[in-house]
């Protein structure tokens, strides 16, 4: 049973909350290179490796938390879980603002990983109130909210950095606290009582979360493609700030401005183009186009020689932003209403595995390339991974009708 009367309230509130959440994340990105080099007393190349390990710690924590939080959402509802995770984010940012050593930054990233599984319940809210054939478009709106956060966050972070390297973390903590209050007082519960299920610890891990998908059939290739896409895409948060500083000598303001540009294009693509693409050509073909453009953009970035070329490349490369809603829409069709939270939690854990491995690959590739005289290695590796994901989607992913309420996949495949 759906709760359509809540759709007009729940979706905008979740979109606003995700936007605020990403603003908090984006605020701290421009200052990370300076803060890591300051606390660890190392050069930029070494700081890149340290940041890679920090992202890995974040991902390990999220790997274990994702299915647990997703299954808790399927048992107790989305709202209490989201309020709890947003509160944890608030505490975490204050912790990182205070951190006196690099070790405390690692502790902060572990707490953030536990709280970061909140994106799963937020996605489950979308699945609760949206028909299957419209989910990809609505997930695109969630991606647009992410992009808006990335417009405001890095720009604000670049400005706030003028008050010190710690100031962005304090602002992020305040925003996370506001987010928790919004969820507590404004978000309606979207999971009907009859669609709730008992929490079982044996289901609260990545295998248990994906069990319904494997039972639906034809899901394994799509899951592999998702993982490869995530593994390659991690290169952006893992090394972007460091790569910009190394190749173009960008400062915090220049790094923030580049992220604003990417965020702006993401909003345009996910808010205006994704729905049109999915409606016209379907989720599968949309995913193919997005993955191909994402791979091409990464490979081209490896060879740019001027900052303006980065901005020009993303005019086409931004189409890669359609991959998340298109792939997520395909996966969400394969499970029923009682398992959407578990699915999103499982996706979150699979993303976490990619975030454990991906930053290490990206950071080590960048550091190795710098020492060899070519700092584009990380982007070449990432482009190859996403290109492989595109090939898998083209060859092994089932097709779905454009308009159907049937969550089962069609038998036709490419």
Between 21 and 413, residue with greater pLDDT: 21
Cα separations in angstroms, 51 against 45, 56, 124, 301: 10, 9, 30, 21
Lowest mean pLDDT among 18-32, 157-171, 257-271, 381-395: 18-32
> What proportion of the chain, given as a percentage, has pLDDT over 90?
12
Orientation angle between helical segments 274-301 and 135-160, nearest 10 degrees? 50
375-381: average pLDDT: 92
What value does the mean pLDDT of the chain take? Answer: 78
**pLDDT tens digits along 136-151:** 777 777 777 777 777 7
Per-residue pLDDT band for 4 (boundaries 50, 70, 90) equals very low
* Residue 207 confidence (pLDDT): 61
User: What pairs with residue 413 in β-bridges?
Assistant: 398
DSSP letter for 205, please. S
Q: Are 287 and 327 in contact (CB under 8 A)?
A: yes
- Cβ count within 10 A of residue 107: 15
Per-residue pLDDT band for 27 (boundaries 50, 70, 90) equals confident
Tokens representing residue 290 in the block? 């997005």
Per-residue pLDDT band for 304 (boundaries 50, 70, 90) equals very high
Q: Are 226 and 388 in contact (CB under 8 A)?
A: no
* Residue 310 confidence (pLDDT): 93
pTM confidence score:
0.63
Environment class of residue 143 by beta-carbon count within 10 Å: exposed (0-12), middle (13-18) or buried (19+)? buried
DSSP letter for 269, please. I
Range with the largest mean pLDDT of 174-183, 334-343, 347-356, 375-384: 375-384
Predicted confidence (pLDDT) at residue 363 exceeds the cutoff of 50: yes
Between 19 and 198, residue with greater pLDDT: 19
The C-alpha atoms of residue 195 and residue 179 are separated, in whole angstroms, by: 26
* Residue 5 confidence (pLDDT): 45
The C-alpha atoms of residue 328 and residue 331 are separated, in whole angstroms, by: 5
Between 400 and 197, residue with greater pLDDT: 197
Tokens 């709106």 — which residue? 141
Q: Are 293 and 170 in contact (CB under 8 A)?
A: no
**pLDDT tens digits along 101-137:** 888 888 888 887 777 656 677 777 877 877 776 777 7
Question: Which positions ≥6 away from 7 have C-beta within 8 Å?
Answer: 129, 130
Q: Is 413 helix (H, G, I), strand (E, B) or coil?
A: strand
* Residue 403 confidence (pLDDT): 45
Q: Is 404 helix (H, G, I), strand (E, B) or coil?
A: coil
**pLDDT tens digits along 41-84:** 888 778 877 877 887 787 778 777 777 777 777 778 888 888 88
Domains of the chain (ranges plus CATH)? 4-189+203-396 (1.20.1250.20)
Q: Where are the beta strands (DSSP E) in 237-350?
A: none
Predicted confidence (pLDDT) at residue 289 exceeds the cutoff of 90: yes
Predicted confidence (pLDDT) at residue 334 exceeds the cutoff of 50: yes
């Amino acid at each position: 049973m759906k709760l359509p009367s809540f759709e007009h309230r729940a979706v905008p509130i979740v979109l606003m909350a995700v936007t605020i959440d990403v603003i908090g994340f984006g605020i701290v990105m421009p200052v990370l290179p300076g803060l890591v080099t300051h606390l660890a007393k190392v050069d930029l190349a070494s700081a890149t490796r340290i940041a890679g390990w920090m992202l890995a710690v974040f991902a390990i924590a999220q790997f274990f938390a994702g299915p647990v939080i997703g299954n808790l959402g399927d048992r107790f509802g989305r709202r209490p879980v989201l309020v709890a995770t947003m509160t944890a984010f608030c505490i975490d940012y204050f912790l990182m603002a205070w951190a006196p050593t690099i070790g405390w930054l690692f502790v902060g990233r572990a707490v953030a990983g536990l709280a970061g599984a909140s994106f799963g319940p937020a996605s489950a809210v979308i699945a609760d109130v949206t028909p299957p054939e419209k989910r990809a478009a609505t997930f695109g709106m969630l991606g647009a909210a992410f992009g808006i956060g990335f417009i405001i966050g890095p720009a604000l972070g670049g400005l706030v950095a003028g008050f010190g390297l710690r100031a962005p973390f304090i602002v992020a903590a305040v925003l996370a606290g506001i987010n928790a209050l919004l969820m507590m007082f404004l978000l309606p519960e979207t999971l009907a009582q009859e669609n709730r299920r008992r929490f079982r610890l044996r289901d609260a891990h990545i295998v248990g979360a994906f069990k319904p998908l494997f039972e639906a059939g034809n899901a394994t290739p799509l899951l592999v493609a998702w993982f490869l896409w995530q593994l390659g895409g991690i290169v952006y948060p893992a090394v972007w700030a460091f790569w910009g500083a190394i190749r173009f000598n960008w400062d915090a303001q220049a790094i923030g401005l580049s992220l604003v540009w990417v965020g702006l294009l993401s909003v345009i693509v996910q808010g205006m183009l994704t729905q049109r693409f999915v409606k016209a050509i379907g989720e599968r073909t949309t995913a193919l186009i997005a993955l191909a453009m994402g791979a091409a953009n990464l490979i081209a970035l490896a060879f740019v020689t001027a900052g303006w070329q980065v901005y020009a490349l993303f005019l086409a490369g931004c189409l890669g932003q359609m991959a998340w809603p298109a792939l997520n829409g395909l996966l969400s069709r394969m499970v029923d209403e009682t398992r959407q939270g578990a699915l999103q939690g499982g996706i979150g854990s699979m993303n976490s595995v990619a975030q454990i491995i991906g930053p290490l690959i990206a950071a080590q590739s960048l550091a190795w390339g710098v020492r060899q005289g070519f700092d584009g290695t990380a982007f070449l590796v990432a482009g190859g991974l996403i290109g492989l994901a595109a090939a898998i989607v083209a060859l092994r992913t089932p097709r779905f009708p454009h308009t159907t309420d049937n969550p089962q996949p069609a038998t036709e495949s490419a």
